[in-house]
Structure 1
Amino acid sequence: MWRAMMNFIHVAVAVLSLLSIGQSAPVSSCESLIKPIEINGTEKLLGKWTYIAESTTIPASKLLTKMIVDSARVKMTAAEESDAINVFHSQKMFGRCFTLTTKMTLENSTLSIVQPFNSSEVLLTTGCPDCRAAYIKLGIGGRTYSGLQLLSRRNKVTAAELEEFTKQVECLNLPAPAILDPEKGFCPDESHSQETEVVDLTNIMNDLGSEVFSHLDRIINSEGGMQALFKMISNGLAGLKEN
């Protein structure tokens, strides 16, 4: 049961997280801050990226992040198709590494994923020279959630770069961003570590049917649903500590 819930949680927190609602920034500054950029080819997207911060409209995901997520990275490599990218996600939770491999396609400056869930993203203008500010649309169950992620080729960005991202979040009327802590360390990128257990969720996630994601959506949006989920997570954490 715990492993099944881990699959649900991975969907909710590997891509997105939530804090309290922020106030809108002035329209004049927002016009440039949330301007999508044109993506000409996949070459500049390839390589390793560290998740710095993110904000989404998924209920209570910030609390889930604080409970279980230490850090997250992604490695993007060229796929056989010229308009596609292989994406290797690695997320550190509970002293373990959870990984997921997906494929993104690029069309009209929009990056899309079909499996294990539907999502799309466009990149916004950013003054950070080695960052990506990705505006995400994610489908879970019958709902569509939105969010903004900041990724960098560095493990930590400057205060000014983080402030710019926070203003972008405000301009999009999203909750204030959750910030990941690089001091908690990172998972191995692709190889199994003798010291860290690696759990690959790719096959499990791809085999999940739409009814599972619909069930997750009902849980996170139902009255008392998040409390029940937090209780299950807490019980699972206690079981992990005992083992």
Structure 2
Amino acid sequence: MMESLHVAVAVFSLLSLGQTAPTTNCDSLTQQIQISGRDQLLGRWNYIAESSDIRGSKELLEISRGTVWLNYVAANEENIMIGSMHLKTFGQCFSMTFNSTLESNTLTFDYPYSSTGFHLKTGCPDCRVVYSNITFGRSSYRAVQLLSRRMKVSAAELEEYKKQVECLNLPEAAILDPEQGFCPDPSVSKDSKSFDMTSFMGTSNMSMIDEIFQSGAAVKTFSEVFSQLSSTLVEAMGN
């Protein structure tokens, strides 16, 4: 049972990763911007929305009713950041740590999957729009995420992001609901309780997750897993 729980949470962590693009303003909306250094990326970033061409990703993010925030701190090595992801889903908190490298305006990481990302122009003053090419298992995917220092952005800022998604020919984005609440910051909350998924996110599990997505059964499979396990999450986290 715990193995199924791990796989299901791993999927939502990965997501925490077919319309015709309009021609108006797309050149501007998909323009890459320069990141002068890692310092401007450090600190907390809240997930606002995400679109990807992973089959069923939008539905799964909506089913999870989850929230996600990231935190970056500087590593000793130049241009390397230590990242942590904090996911809240079904009332429980899960976390994962990873290393990111910013070099030549490209943000990359290799674990738990391979990703190369670029920042796109945005009119939101405290936001990041990150367009990524992702590989896990034997498949490659595209995704674009909207992150902000705030927990919620304005309607106009969200609309601009939605237009960027259209311009990139990606499916409609899933919008995360901050009203669901966020996991507490473990650095300031001694009582925070979170299950660390870092060691679980290995190559074999990424391949298994990819096979489920490729089969087209991801929504059904992981919906059933969480339907069976949601009532026992509190007990599982206590063990």
TM-score, normalised on structure 1? Answer: 0.88
Are residue 24 (structure 1) and residue 24 (structure 2) matched? no
- Mean alpha-carbon deviation: is it higher for 121-130 or for 60-69? 60-69
Hey, what's the Cα distance between the residues in 1 that align with 2:220 and 2:130? 30
Letter of the aligned partner of 2:22 in structure 1? Answer: A
For 1:13, the equivalent position in structure 2 comes to 12
The one of 32, 36, 51 equivalent to 1:55 is: 51
Provide Cα deviations, 1:41-73, integer angstroms capped at 9, x if missing partner: 101111111100110111112222122242110
Residue 25 of structure 1 aligns to a residue in which SS?
A: coil
For 1:222, the equivalent position in structure 2 comes to 215
For 2:157, the equivalent position in structure 1 comes to 161
Hey, what's the Cα distance between the residues in 1 that align with 2:183 and 2:235? 23
Letter of the aligned partner of 1:48 in structure 2? Answer: R
For 1:114, the equivalent position in structure 2 comes to 110
* CA shift in 2, pair 1:224/1:177, >3 Å: closer
- Mean alpha-carbon deviation: is it higher for 8-17 or for 60-69? 8-17
Matches for 1:1-243 after TM superposition, within 5 Å: 1=1, 3-16=2-15, 21-26=18-23, 28-191=24-187, 194=191, 197-205=193-201, 208=202, 210-224=203-217, 226-240=219-233
2:137–2:207 contact (8 Å) kept in structure 1: yes
Q: Structure 1 residue 224: deviation in Å? A: 4.1
Letter of the aligned partner of 2:11 in structure 1? Answer: A
1:17–1:178 contact (8 Å) kept in structure 2: no
Hey, what's the Cα distance between the residues in 2 that align with 1:225 and 1:87? 27
Letter of the aligned partner of 1:228 in structure 2? Answer: T
Letter of the aligned partner of 2:19 in structure 1? Answer: G
2:16–2:47 contact (8 Å) kept in structure 1: no
Residue 240 of structure 1 aligns to a residue in which SS?
A: helix
Q: Structure 1 residue 173: deviation in Å? A: 0.5
Hey, what's the Cα distance between the residues in 1 that align with 2:8 and 2:107? 23
- Mean alpha-carbon deviation: is it higher for 67-76 or for 3-12? 3-12
Residue 86 of structure 2 aligns to a residue in which SS?
A: strand
2:119–2:130 contact (8 Å) kept in structure 1: yes
Unaligned runs of 5+ in 2: none
**Sequence identity of aligned pairs in percent?**
40
Hey, what's the Cα distance between the residues in 2 that align with 1:160 and 1:44? 23
Hey, what's the Cα distance between the residues in 1 that align with 2:100 and 2:217? 35
Q: Structure 1 residue 102: deviation in Å? A: 0.7
* CA RMSD of superposed structures (Å): 2.1
Residue 169 of structure 1 aligns to a residue in which SS?
A: helix
1:99–1:202 contact (8 Å) kept in structure 2: yes
Residue 173 of structure 1 aligns to a residue in which SS?
A: coil
Q: Structure 1 residue 223: deviation in Å? A: 4.9
Q: Structure 1 residue 171: deviation in Å? A: 0.2
Provide Cα deviations, 1:57-107, integer angstroms capped at 9, x if missing partner: 111122221222421101111111111011111111121111111110112
Hey, what's the Cα distance between the residues in 2 that align with 1:98 and 1:17? 11
Q: Structure 1 residue 236: deviation in Å? A: 1.5
